Structure 1
């Protein structure tokens, strides 16, 4: 029998809380939307964070679980929350080239040019890893191709450095179009 609090509620041990957190993260990683949704409905914090600073949303979106990501956003998960490496869920979607997740995050209010401490945007990650579809989406949502990170590099600089020809060509065309409009 569990111990009772003075108001006759069962006491929950630290081990039980830790096990619940582990289970929630397993559901997020595996895309087990229904199971995670029940935990969220029961009061599990949508912004629960693990020892690496990854939220449930960071994991579900990075691993491409669209419905799980949608449920977490519905329950108030913060799509701007950085992990301990200064990464955002949108940057993770750009890195992975997951167009559906990127669109979902943007449609739920994620800032298109949001950054971590290093100033890298999702557009820079899309450019680096030649994720042309994601790059196009980010530009359509207002991403600024000429934005610089803390080292003074743009998305085009990253595309060129990584040999990402498709995104480099697209960013060069965008630059040319903007220069023509300015003159």
Structure 2
């Protein structure tokens, strides 16, 4: 079963809104019943796309509307690890504040911080001495 073209077009538009940080339009759709954990064909949620694009206020809105900050995409990546990869400081801090688990995913946010030379995040992420010393795979 395939979806009608207009449904696919709408979904593409909504994911673009998340990437662009268009809070006003997203809020309108969420208030009208859009699922806050809507995922695209790669398993990326609206929150994941907003986090990756550095839109902290949109991430906060999505969380307030019920989006899961720990939802992994199809590649087992977390929004927090993605924000660390992109070095989105405000988003990283917000996701930690909202309860994102730094040990979820592959690589986890802690592993991502080490892989991408963002070791300044290890304290905020609560990395243990063993996690700090573990080799990066």
For the aligned pair, the TM-score class normalised by the smaller chain equals 0.7 to 0.9
TM norm structure 1: 0.67
Gaps of 5+ in 2: none
Residue aligning to 1:54: 44
**TM-score, normalization: structure 2?**
0.87
Distance (whole Å) between structure 2 residues aligned to residue 92 and residue 86 of structure 1: 11
SS state of the match for residue 117, structure 2?
coil
Q: What residue in structure 2 maps to residue 35 of structure 1?
A: 25
Tell whether 2:135 aligns with 1:157: yes
Question: Which of 1, 20, 23 matches 2:10?
Answer: 20
TM alignment of 1:1-183, pairs within 5 A: 14-116=4-106, 120-138=107-125, 142-147=126-131, 156-158=134-136
8 A contact 1:113–1:122 mirrored in 2:
yes
3-state SS in 1 of match to 2:10: helix
What's the secondary structure of 1:79's corresponding residue? coil
Higher relative contact order (CA 8 A, sep 6+): 2
Q: Distance in 2 between matches of 1:155 and 1:50?
A: 36
The aligned length equals: 135
The answer (yes or no) to whether the contact 2:17–2:26 under 8 Å persists in 1 is yes
Residue 85 of structure 1, CA deviation: 0.8
Between structure 1 and structure 2, the one with the greater Rg is 1
CA, structure 1 residues 124+155, in 2 after alignment: closer, same or farther (shift >3 Å)?
farther
